Amino acid sequence: MMTSLPNRTEMEQAYQKKDASYDGVFYLAVRTTGIFCRPSCTARKPLKENVEFYQSAKEAIFAGYRPCKRCSPMESIGKPPEWAQKLLQIIDAKPTERYSDYFLRTIGIDPARARRFFLKNYGMTFQAYCRGRRLGKSLEQIRLGTDLDDVALGYGYNSHSGFREAFVKTFGKAPGKSRNEDCIIASWIESPLGPLVTAATSEGICLLEFTDRRMLDAQFASLRKHFKKAIVPGENSHIKQMKLELQEYFEGKRRTFSVKLVEPGTPFQQKVWNELLKIPYGKTLSYEEMAKKVGSPKACRAVGTANGMNRIAIVVPCHRVVNKDGELGGYGGGLWRKKKLLELEKEFGLSDL
């Protein structure tokens, strides 16, 4: 997924107004202080000529800037901005409606901003998200046996040919051949460590990742390859259970997860991921210890690679694997999150549930 920064004038206006809806869209770095901030930072506004803009915190850091202590730009926002929450609620309430750019403007949302937000967090434009919601609902009705004519005309399509074309493009099969078809459902989950995206088939959870993970696009591509199914926004019983169990985990009320998982991989990857599930809550293992447990004591590097390819963060606890000297080592969601997860488990692991 490729995204681009808004134009400079738009970004200057955003940080001057301390507009939080741009948090995560770009970061501003101040040459005279050597720090970078969120657009919503409450610090004194810098002069325009002293500001540079970056698409990610990582880019700002590699350019030599350090994070602002006031707005903590390295920490994830944790939930969608207010305008995005409002929009998601509208779509969830009426997923079969068509939402035009004109509609967005009537509720005070810039269509370009909506497009960037959905691209960044869902890997699709706002309009693609809406189409996915409509098509996801249509597939649900088809599987329940609803007449195809009723589905086509009841889910925002003015003609059967338009519905068929959109359906085939998304699911790869014509509506009449999809009575038993499945798709991958994706949804957003808020957490104290930032937003996550989860995905599930009818068999179980197949993805749980922080939305700013650099390999997220590759993980989605991997899901499409393994399951040969389209990914559409929505929610099913597995995702509902995932949201509940994850909330209990962060509240210190859950140490093990019971939600069903579906995580295809190579035989070696499966061995590593199965061993990850055996690491007790609040405990850690080194890569060397993990290599021994999977029967390949010299394969520390391969274990690390398999660990990094785990698609189901937290539930399959790859954060519990550390370096031999006790240092944290790598983590796709960021070392600061790995540290926070281990601290959380240590804190709640000392007390009875």
The pLDDT, as a whole number, for residue 153 is 47
How many helices and strands, by DSSP H and E, does the chain display? 14, 10
The 10s digit of each residue's pLDDT in 307-329 is 888 899 999 999 999 887 777 77
The 10s digit of each residue's pLDDT in 267-294 is 899 999 999 999 999 899 989 999 999 8
User: What's 8-67's CATH class?
Assistant: alpha beta
Q: 66-67 and 51-54 as β-strands: parallel, antiparallel, unpaired?
A: unpaired
The pLDDT, as a whole number, for residue 3 is 47
The pLDDT, as a whole number, for residue 140 is 57
Beta carbons of 262 and 201 less than 8 angstroms apart = yes
The single residue of 37, 68, 130, 318 carrying the catalytic annotation is: 318
Cα 348 to Cα 68, 277, 282, 325, 327: the distances in Å are 30, 19, 8, 24, 21
Q: 231-233 and 184-189 as β-strands: parallel, antiparallel, unpaired?
A: parallel
Beta carbons of 65 and 44 less than 8 angstroms apart = no
Give 3-state DSSP helix, strand, coil % of the chain, rounded to 5: 45, 10, 40
DSSP three-state, residue 177: helix
The pLDDT, as a whole number, for residue 2 is 38
CATH of domain 267-349: 1.10.10.10
pLDDT tens by residue, the chain, 353 residues: 334 678 888 899 989 988 887 887 889 988 888 788 999 998 888 888 889 888 877 677 655 567 788 887 866 554 667 888 888 888 878 777 778 899 999 999 999 888 888 777 666 678 877 776 666 665 555 445 555 455 444 545 555 555 555 555 555 555 455 445 567 887 778 788 877 888 899 899 999 988 766 666 667 777 877 887 777 767 889 999 999 999 999 999 999 999 999 988 888 999 999 999 999 998 999 899 999 998 888 888 888 888 888 899 999 999 999 887 777 777 777 788 888 999 999 888 655 54
Any residues with CB less than 8 A from the CB of 27 and at least 6 apart, and which? 36, 37, 38, 39, 53, 54, 55, 56, 57, 59, 60, 73
Query: Catalytic residue at 71?
Result: no
User: What's 82-177's CATH class?
Assistant: mainly alpha
Question: Same CATH topology for 82-177 and 267-349?
Answer: yes
- The overall pTM is greater than 0.75: no
Name the burial class of residue 288, with classes exposed (0-12), middle (13-18) and buried (19+) by CB atoms within 10 angstroms of its CB: middle
DSSP three-state, residue 167: helix
Q: Where are the domains of the chain?
A: 8-67, 82-177, 184-250, 267-349
The pLDDT, as a whole number, for residue 80 is 65
